[in-house]
Structure 1
Amino acid sequence: MTSILQILLLILDLVWFLILAHIILSWLIAFQVLNLRQPLVAQVWDGINRLLDPVYSRIRAVLPAVAGIDLAPLAVLLAVYALRIVLQNNAALFY
């Protein structure tokens, strides 16, 4: 049962990393450090967007628009962190 907990924590870590990569990549594209005309950047951007847009779209439907700032990644990061805390605090159930 410990392996199930470790797998769940690994998945949460992967989601955390993907969201942070998406945030950093969006900043680099917005400040024109990276260009979407570059094939590698476009492929990575499209791949991350395809993975995260289903999650973000559900959050965006609930959260109001705040002056052009997208709060969906922040909400998902907080949810992932909260889920990680819940799993770690209830780790005794997996033993």
Structure 2
Amino acid sequence: MTFFIILGYVSLAFKIYSFMLIAYILMSWVPAAQNSAIGRMLEKVCEPYLGIFRKFIPPLGMIDISPIVAIFMLNFIERGLYIVIQKIYFMFA
């Protein structure tokens, strides 16, 4: 039972962060939104993660594809974490 609760919390955390990333990306289209309190908060939370991908993935013309890769990588990390939690849980269960 606790295994599913842990997975639920992990899933919720990753979903919230994914939505925060998407909101931050959409806010980049509206400069006034980025200067709001929510925009500055999202920048502090999302930019360190997105910055990792922006170092390695150059924009294609005027299109920055690094956020797409970042979201896919976040999903990949979430699935990997599920496997690790499952292995640890069943090792001690």
Same fold (TM over 0.5): yes
Q: Is the 8 A contact 2:59 2:66 kept in 1?
A: no
Give the equivalent residue in structure 2 for 1:17: 19
- More RCO (CA 8 Å, sep 6+): 1
Q: Is the 8 A contact 1:18 1:48 kept in 2?
A: yes
Query: TM-score, length-normalised on structure 2?
Result: 0.71
Query: TM-score, length-normalised on structure 1?
Result: 0.70
Q: Distance in 2 between matches of 1:78 and 1:36?
A: 25
- SS class of match (1:66): coil
Give the equivalent residue in structure 1 for 2:44: 50
Deviation at 1:36, TM superposition (A): 4.4
Deviation at 1:6, TM superposition (A): 2.2
Deviation at 1:78, TM superposition (A): 0.5
State the Cα RMSD in Å: 2.5
Gaps of 5+ in 2: none
Gaps of 5+ in 1: none
Q: Distance in 1 between matches of 2:43 and 2:25?
A: 11
What number of residue pairs does the alignment pair up? 86
